[in-house]
Amino acid sequence: MPRFHAGAATANITPLLGCSQAGSMTDHIGTEIHDELHVRALVLDNGNARIALATIDSCAVATEVLDDAKKQIAAETKIPPSHLLLSATHTHSAPPGAFLFQSKPDAFYQRWMGMRIVDCVRMAAGRLQPAKIGWGMGNEPSLLFNRRYLMKPGTIPPDPFGRTTDQAMMIPPAASQNIIRPAGPIDPAVGLLAVHTLDGNPLALYGTYSLHYVGGVPRAHISADYFPLWGKHLLRLGGVTTPCMTAIANACSGNLNNVDVMNPPPKPPPPYRRMDEVAAILAAESYRVWRGIEFQEWVELSAVLDTLELGVRLPSGSDVATAQGILSQAGPGPYTDRSHIYALETIQLHNGYGPTVQVPMQALRIGRLGIATLPGEAFTELGLEVKKKSPFETTFLVELANGYHGYIPTEEAFQVGGYETWRAKSSYLARDSAAKMVARALQHLGKIAA
């Protein structure tokens, strides 16, 4: 039987100071680096096939950037694009890898980040060594809250288009008497994929969890958020003293966060403290999972990747005319008023998008572990449905994978409205897109499970 090998690597993608930063509707500039940004890659080889999993410390990365990186990686490592899973972590304190509201990506940074993604996977492939692998699933509900809440009639302010039809509100005032209930569930599942050398030293730990990000970062700071802190706490708990790559990917968290609005707000902690607390709590559960993993010295590897054609919610002619009128009165940007921001989004959608778009859909198999991906900020209901219907014993979800196509709300979310459904570059797919993506993900999982 062929021998199983694995290799891991990291590559620095920290930008220059003065860079634009994503994570806000109005662009702002990074003037301090709190912690470095990285790509983190794991390559697996079973003698018959290779796959690579890589996370990128970015809010979102454009599909074309990742497609170019995949082509170069395939040429250098013989890992086909279908077997390469590249996903953004969704830190809100990094340069934009895609055009997000008024934060335009810097073309030089995108090219450089792409080259570093290639470097990272190449290094991981160059470090292949005999290894064993295992995975498990834990549960950590205490860190998660659905950030959308159904509110009493008449208590939600008008949306950016002047409508008063929203029934759901993102992060309402804490302990508000106007809150009826959360508008959706959470997904507390903690996934962990562990790779060890044959003599038992940890080589790589790859996790998944449905937490949007934590924040608590000063506005001008560059930071990878809680994602690398999770790895540091996990290695400390495991007493690891040898090199070990840690990476945690975002599962379906488009409507989840770490903010409890059902109770009076606590005193705001100092910057970075809350993300460290979250990382430590999540690492403790990940460590519990790690200790229970049964390792295998060979597993099946396969993957499938294709594109799915989805509709685009383009603005009407009257929408465009209204937006043009708003901006003519507002003058040149940048804008801080939401009506101006969404008027600009309307014009950009009108000028830059067609009636349909092709989005990447991918699934991977690692033994009896299935990994399904979604190319945007997917609502947690999507991940829950995929896992419920998956043919695999264990299924991980990874969002913001292989590109960025905005929020992916459910049809029910569109019915009650709210920020994640407001038409913009961050939310432009047709209302039936979530159902189509779930169906394609299950189709892919069924194909590679057979």
Q: What is the dihedral of CA 182, 185, 188, 194, to 10 degrees?
A: -130
47's CB contacts (< 8 A; 6+ apart) are 1, 2, 3, 4, 5
What is the rounded CA–CA span in Å between residue 284 and residue 440? Answer: 34
Instruction: Please report the pLDDT score of residue 23 as a whole number.
Output: 82
Instruction: Please report the pLDDT score of residue 148 as a whole number.
Output: 98
Contact predicate 156/244, CB 8 Å? no
C-alpha angle 84-212-233 in degrees, rounded to nearest 5: 80
> What are the start-end ranges of the H helices in 21-133?
63-77, 107-126
Instruction: Please report the pLDDT score of residue 266 as a whole number.
Output: 87
Q: How high is the mean pLDDT in each 10-residue block of the chain (450 residues)? A: 94 96 90 98 98 98 98 97 98 96 96 98 98 98 98 97 97 97 98 98 98 96 98 98 97 98 92 98 98 98 98 98 97 95 98 98 98 98 98 98 98 98 98 98 97
What is the rounded CA–CA span in Å between residue 32 and residue 328? Answer: 35
Instruction: Please report the pLDDT score of residue 2 as a whole number.
Output: 85
Burial class (CB in 10 A: 0-12, 13-18, 19+), 271: middle
Q: What is the dihedral of CA 25, 30, 33, 37, to 10 degrees?
A: 50
Instruction: Please report the pLDDT score of residue 212 as a whole number.
Output: 95
Could you tell me the residue ranges of all domains in the chain? 5-143+184-307+355-449, 315-352
Q: Sign of the C-alpha dihedral, residues 121, 123, 129, 134?
A: negative
Q: Which single residue is written with the structure tokens 């990291």?
A: 10
Q: What letter does residue 309 receive in the DSSP assignment?
A: E
CA max distance for the chain: 71
Cα–Cα nearest to 303, from 82, 85, 67, 52: 82
End-to-end CA distance of the chain: 21
Please tell me the pTM assigned to this model. 0.97
What is the rounded CA–CA span in Å between residue 366 and residue 301? Answer: 5
Q: Concatenate the DSSP letters of all residues of 260-289 into one string.
A: --SSPPPPPPPTTHHHHHHHHHHHHHHHHH
Structure tokens at 400: 């913001």
The residues pairing with 38 across neighbouring beta strands, listed in sequence order, are 12
Instruction: Please report the pLDDT score of residue 69 as a whole number.
Output: 98
Q: What is the dihedral of CA 60, 63, 66, 70, to 10 degrees?
A: 150
Element (H, E) at 149: strand 148-151
> 331-348 b/e with 16+ CB inside 10 Å = b?
eeeebeebbbbbbbbbbb
Q: How far is CA 163 from CA 135, 160, 324, 341, in A?
A: 47, 7, 18, 15
Contact predicate 370/445, CB 8 Å? yes
Residue type at 313 in one-letter notation: R
Q: Which single residue is written with the structure tokens 């014009």?
A: 347
